[in-house]
Chain A
Amino acid sequence: MILENPLRVGLARTCATEPCVVVIFGASGDLTWRKLCPALFRLAEESLIPREFAILGVSRTPLSDEEFRERLRQGLPQGADSALWEAFSRRIHYHAGDHRDPAGYAALRERLEVLDEHHRIGGNRLFYLAVSPADFPLIASNLAAQGMNRPTRGWARILVEKPFGRDLFSAMELNGELLRHFDESQIYRIDHYLGKETVQNILTFRFANGIFEPVWNRRYIDHVQITAAETLGVESRGGYYDAAGALRDMIQNHLMQLLALVAMEPPARLDAEAVRDEKVKVYRAMRRYKPREVAGCAVRGQYAPGHIEGTAVPGYRQEAKVRPDSQTETYAAVRFLVDNWRWSGVPFYVRTGKRMPRKVTEVAVQFRAVPHLLFSKTPEDALEPNLLVLKIDPEEGISLRIATKYPGMVTRVRWVNMEFQYGRAFAAPSPAAYERLLLDSMLGDATLFSRGDAVEAAWAVVDPILEGWSSDSGSTEPYPAGSWGPRAAEAFIEDEGRHWRRI
């Protein structure tokens, strides 16, 4: 570990990035030149990566180091510092090989040892798997066969792209495979829907304001609505999406995380482990429906042709690489229940959809109405409860709806929203997702990555819904693109005496 460096005291970065080599599998692919290399280069621009550093790209396409560098240079933004790129690119190398072929890994190990020596790295390795998830177990076991999972010097970490599994079974299988060769602490599962900034904004709001925590429970909260709406369709991801659907693509990972942040107990510390412990506890407390109960707790829909911002757009089944009779949901709404002391009886309505009228992500916490009506001059239905909205996208902020007296002789109540937007007032623009992910994994900070047990616990909650839907093929209701989802979704929440928020 790092000896205390007395010169580090008081510097913004209290923790130094250790020397390491980033080994990218899938190096000739899209992700590498488009996202990973520019992100690493920006980290270099900000002097955030160590001096002793190297990149080794691995894929089958035969390329020389020079050719690989040239390919990566294409991905740099306009006006990148060419002198810096010169120095940076000298640390980029390429190794041609088939990652499915176990025989090739001895050569890979030797190559890494040479680089280690050459760039004075000292053994630390970050394996970035930018390949199809089907190949994750294979690469893990091949690395292990050469002892690269348990280095004698330094650390080895393995970073896997999303998605992690397509149901509980496959996720457990994948976890099992990875865990056979690597410890949980070595595995970094990407799930970067929520930026670190957002996560911290929510935690700060909840736990640094003494006035909210006491009312943050079933006695004062009526229900919670979590919405993630996009205006886009499936775009070019038709093939992948058609096999996944909204529940897998958005709810299982992203929205359940958001739910966990809102519902969790205060962690003992703000570090990755403590926060992740609390999140898992929420997943474990979530009601597991029986597949046959699904109709009462979840609704799905699929967009039909319609209009987005005045422009006609095709329906889902007309999109490229989508089966013309597809039942895949592009809209899903689920009522989750968190069966614990704090939340018992408080529904969490979670909805997500493509081709919605607006792009919005938010969490709305609706408080209970006042118990007794003092204001006779106000029509009863105009007396709304307090509402607290944590806005996440497109603009982060908080809004609180409170009742005020209307000016004048009569006691009439008027509702006003107090709005606050983080905007530039506090949040220095947060670094792009991949910069953050790469830096954090080099620093060994797992906050933004999912832990194995959390992934499984989340799958365990949505698995019965998937199962229920698969046995009830007729339940996907079409909705016109540009609307707020299928009619069944309205009925579903109104049956419980509530409404979706108009956003």
Chain B
Amino acid sequence: MSIVQGIGYLVIGFLAAAIIGMFAHWFDRKITARVQWRVGPPFFQPVYDLVKLLAKEVIVPEGASRFLFLSAPLFGLAAVSVVSALLIRTVIFPQQTFLGDLIVVIYLLTIPSQAVILGAFASANPLASLGGSREMKLILSYELPFVLAILVPVIKAGETIKLGVILQHQATEGAVIASISGVIAFVISLICMQAKLAKVPFDVPEAETEIMGGAYIEYSGAALGLFKLTQWMMMFVVPFFLMMLFIGAVNWRQSWLNIVWAALIYIGILLFITLVRNTNPRLRIDQIMKFFWAKITPIAIVAVILAFLGL
């Protein structure tokens, strides 16, 4: 692949994730409003928010590490764009993926969280560093069951760490989710996704009502806008990644209807995220750690064992 092609894929990945992510954010807010019996924001609200933030003044607080503070949002944005490009390319050309792209995606998906931590600590605000340390504990909590859940499709597809092979396997032999271990792993990964997106009940790093936006408290203007955009893009990338692993995502070679089908599944997952976030109270960080390590991880291990047994 030449450099020009690579940049082309990056741009496509970025644009697709940004546009779908903005839709996802609007959908989330609209459904939240409807749940609360309100009208909710107009369709282009995320665009207005983003443009406004990009045009506003960026303040670097006194005592902050300037370079880290301003570059942290870029790290996160770059990582999601690369993941998005990789996933989209895999869907279009499942044969052309490289060995270990699954692991690359898992790694890259943690970078936005790490960017939040970096930015929070660089901003020299006590509430922000509280948010940063909570984000760190959150990663420690959900990452293990998340990886265990991903092991299930890996085992099902014949112990491969190539995303393309997992996709092709599902196209011929049926989706991973059509088995016991697949269902368990999918539910677990949905719960981990909620934590990865830092949505209620796992929104401790932000916690508007208690630490005032936590990690983002000192961010303003374009830097805040990039962080928000990264968050929105994650709302496309993570569900899409799970759909590829468990449902086989867009099998567009068979028929064009499959794209509509995939879009419906994606909206269903978004609806799940939003409804969970609207009907649950925020957990404390120690409750979250206990929940993930004592309850979710053992179930994930059971799912992996079941997958080994071929169930």
Same complex origin of A and B: no
State the B residues within 8 Å of A (CB). Answer: none
State the A residues within 8 Å of B (CB). Answer: none
